[in-house]
Structure 1
Amino acid sequence: MKLVVMKNHEELSKHACELIINKVNSLSSPVLGLATGSTPERLYEMMIDKYNQKVVSFSHVKTFNLDEYVGLSENDTKSYRYYMNHHLFSQVNFTKGQNHIPNGMASHLEQECQRYEQLIADACHIDLQILGLGHNGHIGFNEPGTSFSTRTHVVDLERSTREANARFFESIKEVPTQAITMGIETILQSKQIILLVSGEQKAKALHRLLNGEVSEDFPASVLKRHHDVTIIADEAALQL
């Protein structure tokens, strides 16, 4: 793993944006893996700015998001499809049908997982995957104890994860208890991975990632086994 330390969240986002734009501009049919949450919001704003400046086009780009809540429709303002439409998809020139997110409203969730996994395989896997780091070490919604050999699957969300995400809802009672997520093995098949870690609230998790052992009890630790991982962290996340 390569660690890049940036002064603050703004600089972290700028560096990540540069890496993504370079990747998009260097490939004829790039496939990006995208994440949601507060950390990548500024990154997506910068990607939109680069598009408006005509530095980059996204018309040839295919995207796959890491996860989606079970039980939220794409029009629900708390769904990750809505998040991505609002923060990125609707503001640049992606070709219609090229932005993929699991369907949390599918009547047969296991079939949806298989369908999503097959879409990724048909795209010849992901060229550049953006990840965030959960307080408990989760990547995507792969909670502690998840097998490293998992593919896209339905997961029961830990209370700590639901509590961390409750700030996006009226209360924790509204936070879904399940999600569909790319599996750890699916993530590891990405050709390149960028892990974004920002803020002192992530310092403990980042410290364990950098200094701890590889263990299914801390899913992000598996990134040590990948051949091309860049951790972009701000100074606040490296306080320990």
Structure 2
Amino acid sequence: MSVGSMERAGVLAPGEIRLENASRAFSVRADRGGTLKELLLRRGAGSHGPGAIQALDGVTLRITPGETVGVVGRNGAGKSSTLKVLAGIVPLDSGSVRLGGQVVSLLELGAGFGRDFSGRENILLGGALHGLNREQIEARLDAIVAFSELGDFIDVPVKTYSSGMFVRLGFAIAAHLDADVLLIDEVLAVGDEAFQRKCEARIAEQVAAGATLVLVSHDAALVERTCERVVVLDGGKVAFDGECREGMGFYHRMMGTPT
């Protein structure tokens, strides 16, 4: 089926993203008290304090297959919430989200690892969770191990890993999955510069192969190197959506930072 016929049939093409009038609020109240006294005191105090924070407020994004889109904004602007909605981690209060094809999320690398399993065992587990069979995983195993640069630590339980080692293994697994859509949130900020460059090069290869990229980062230079389009979020709303250079200029003026 061609892209045109997909659109007419209402089916998204691989790599296509549709976020329509998306809204999501989060409560900032925390249930901190566990004792009877604390519960009674809170009940007597009524419902004082802040209510819900509107992380996304009517956000619409339409991304075509193969686009590279950077999402920038102030802290709390809704950037990470947008990616979590796209990844299916956070449900919407209203609006809709649809993505075409295989989605690979690099948001919290290593979050799903079995801590008592070795790095090698977690590669097998991670591949299976992304729908690969044993043969497909083993065909990529050596490349994943080599990319991670973990050496003998690949056969050590990951509960002994540093945060940098977690990132290396998590990115190595994700980088060798077949992705139509790549969702990346600040994960390249961890690790040494050489490994960051290696990760950037791998992402570039996946984009060159046709993957759609949505990147959240505070690293303006990374966004400019990687993305052709920029979306600036402010207060959960889209403040700008367009060409990268113009968008980064808008972002710097909004933040009051030099370009």
**TM-score, normalisation: structure 2:** 0.32
Select the structure that is richer in strand: 2
Computing the radius of gyration from Cα coordinates, the structure with the larger value is: 2
